[in-house]
Chains A and B, each alone.
Chain A
Amino acid sequence: MINITEVFETNKMIEQENLDVRTITMGISLLDCADENLDVTCEKIYNKITALAKNLVKTGEDIAKEFGVPIVNKRISITPISLVGGACCKIPGDYVQIAKTLDKAAKEVGVNFLGGYSAIVSKGMTKSDELLIRSIPMALACTERICSSINVGSTKTGINMDAVRLMGDIIKETAEQTKENDSLGCAKLVVLCNAPDDNPFMAGAFHGVSEADAIINVGVSGPGVVKYALEQMDKAAKEDKGCEANFETLCETIKKTAFKITRVGQLVAQEASARLNIPFGIIDLSLAPTPAIGDSVADILKCIGVEHPGAPGTTAALALLNDQVKKGGVMASSYVGGLSGAFIPVSEDQGMIDAVEAGALTIEKLEAMTCVCSVGLDMIAIPGNTPATTIAGIIADESAIGMINQKTTAVRIIPVVGKNIGDTVEFGGLLGYAPIMPVNKFSSERFVNRGGRIPAPIHSFKN
C-alpha cells in the first residue's frame, strides 16, 4: 500500500516543483475530408474535428481534477493540410479559408492550439505544397490558434534547398504581416528536418499519414522536478561525503526522476484514451520549460555544473540530460514517440533568457546544443532586418545537423520587425519574452540561391 512519504513527495512535485502534464493532443486524420469543392472540404473538416474533439477539453479537466495533477494544454494535430487541400485549393487564398475553418473549429472545441497547417516537402514540393507554403503568412496573420510546420529535409531524402530558400522568405513575410504583435506569427511557424508523425508539442505537431484515424498523444514535462532532485542529491552528497555527487549518481538521479514524471503522463494518456474512446498513441518524454521561475531546463544545466548555459561543458551536460531522460522515461511508458528529450527554447525559459542577457549564450552555441537536444533553434528573436537568405542559411545548417545525425531538428526563429540588438520582445503567456540576439553578419546568399536539393547522406563510414 502507498505510504505517506510517497504521497507527499508526489504532491510536492505538483505544488512546488511545477510538475504537470504539458499537453493532451488529439491527432485527427483529415484525409477523408478532401473534396474538389473548397466549401465542402471546409465543412467536412469542421464537422470531423468538432465531432471527435468535442469532449477533449472537458475530459482533460476531469482527469486533472480527479488525479490532482494539472494538464496545461489540450490541443489538436491534423493531417498535413497540403494533403487535404490539394484537390480544391487553386490559389493561396483558398488555403487561408481552410485555416480560418480550422481556427473556428479549434475555438468551438476550446483547444488553445491546432497544429498541422503543414507540408512535408523533404524531397520535392507539389503544386499544393507550394500554394500552402505561400499562404502561411496570411493564414497566421488572420488566425489565432493555428500552428504551421514545414518539413524540408530528412536523413532518407536529403534537404530540399528550394523549400529552405522559400521558407527564408516566408518567415520574413510572416513577421511583416504580424508586425503589430511583435511578429508573433513566426512563433507559430516551425521548419523541421526529420519531423516525427506523432509529435504532440506545438508548433511542430501534425498527424502524419502513418497514423490511425484518431489518436491520443501526451506530452509530459517537469524540468522543475529534475532540478529539485539534483539539488537534493548534491545536498545529501555534501553531508555524506563532503563533495558534490559524481556523474554516476547524477545520471541515476535524472533517470529515476524522469521515470516518475513519465508514469504520470502514461496514466493520464491511458485515462484520456479510455474516456474518449480513442486509441493511445505515444508519450512524448520531453522536459518542456515555461517562463515560470523554477520551470527551466537552463536551471538543470546550472545544477549539473555550468555557470550559465553556453559555458564550455554545456553541450555535454545537455547530452547526458537528454539521454538520461530517455533512459528513465522509456521504461515508464508502453509507447514512446514524438520529440522526446529536453527542449531548449530561449524565450520560454527564464534561465536561457538570463544566459543570453549575461552574454553567455549565442546562436552558434545554441546550434551546437541542438546536436544533442530533442529539437533545435527554438523561440529565438533576431533583428527584423536579418536577410531572408541568412534565415535560410540558418535553416540549412539545422537541417544538415538533423539529416546527418538522424535526429529531428527545427528552426523557430522570429525576425522581429522594427527591433534590433538591445531590444526585447514580449510574446506573452507560455511563449514568454526574449532579448533580440545577434546573427552572424556574413552572407549566405550565394549558397542558398543555388537551387535544387542536397542529396541524402551515406550511412556508412561514420566519423
Chain B
Amino acid sequence: MTRAIITVVGKDTVGIIAKVCTYLADNQINILDISQTIVQEFFNMMMIVDMTKSVKPFDSINEELTKIGADTGVQVKCQLEDIFNKMHRI
C-alpha cells in the first residue's frame, strides 16, 4: 500500500476540503483518515490517503494538488507517509 499525507494550510475558505476530496475521488485515491484544526483563523488539515489504486503517478497528483491549492489561495502538499513515520516512530 502506498500511503501519503496530504496537508492543507491557509486562510479558512469555503469548500477547500470538498475540492481536494473530489479530486482524490476522481483519481481513485482512498482517504483513510482526516483531521483538522484552526489556529488563529488558519486552517490546518491533514489527510492520510491510500494511493495504491491511483490512476495517475505520484508526481502528477502532487503537482495537480499544489495547483488546486494555489487556485484557492491555500498551500497543499502531498508527501509519502514514510518521512513522518521515520521521524516520529522508533
Contacts and interface: CB of A to CB of B under 8 A. Distances in A.
Contacts of B81: 2
A66 B80 contact: yes
Contacts of B7: 7-8, 11
Interface stretch (B12-20, B22-30, B33-41): B33-41
A69 interface: yes
Contacts of B64: none
A68 B48 CA distance: 15
B44 interface: yes
Nearest to A6: B88
Contact of A67 (B35, B83, B88): B83
A264 B88 CA distance: 10
A264 B80 CA distance: 12
* Chain A interface bracket (under 10, 10 to 19, 20 to 34, 35 or more): 20 to 34
A273 interface: no
A358 interface: no
A218 to B, nearest CB: 13
A241 to B, nearest CB: 26
Interface string B42-64: 00101010000000001100100
B35 A3 contact: yes
Contact of B86 (A4, A11, A62, A266): A266
B87 interface: yes
Nearest to B84: A2
A47 B84 CA distance: 39
**SS class of chain A's interface: helix, strand, loop or mixed?**
helix
Contacts of A11: 7, 77
A67 B37 contact: no
A263 B84 CA distance: 10
A10 interface: yes
Contact of B5 (A2, A69, A260, A264): A2
Nearest to B83: A67
A267 interface: yes
Contacts of A9: 88
B75 to A, nearest CB: 9
Contact of B82 (A7, A8, A62, A67): A67
A69 B78 CA distance: 11
A7 B5 CA distance: 8
B54 to A, nearest CB: 13
Nearest to A66: B80
A67 B85 contact: no
B36 to A, nearest CB: 7
A458 interface: no
A7 to B, nearest CB: 5
B37 A4 contact: yes
A154 B78 CA distance: 48
Residue in B77, B86, B87 with the greatest tally of chain A CB atoms within 10 Å: B87
B48 A2 contact: yes
Given A8-B44, A11-B77, A69 B83 contact: yes
Contact of B62 (A1, A2, A65, A69): A65
B59 A65 contact: yes
A60 to B, nearest CB: 15
A321 to B, nearest CB: 21
Given A11-B7, A66-B79, A267-B82, A4 B48 contact: no
Given A1-B33, A8-B7, A263 B77 contact: no
A250 to B, nearest CB: 21
Given A2-B84, A6-B84, A10-B88, 5 more contacts: A6-B88, A62-B59, A68-B83, A263-B86, A264-B83
Interface of A: 1-4, 6-11, 62, 65-69, 260, 263-264, 266-267
Interface of B: 5, 7, 33, 35-37, 44, 46, 48, 58-59, 62, 77-89
15 contacts: A1-B33, A2-B84, A3-B35, A4-B35, A4-B36, A4-B44, A7-B5, A7-B7, A11-B77, A66-B79, A67-B80, A68-B78, A264-B86, A267-B83, A267-B86
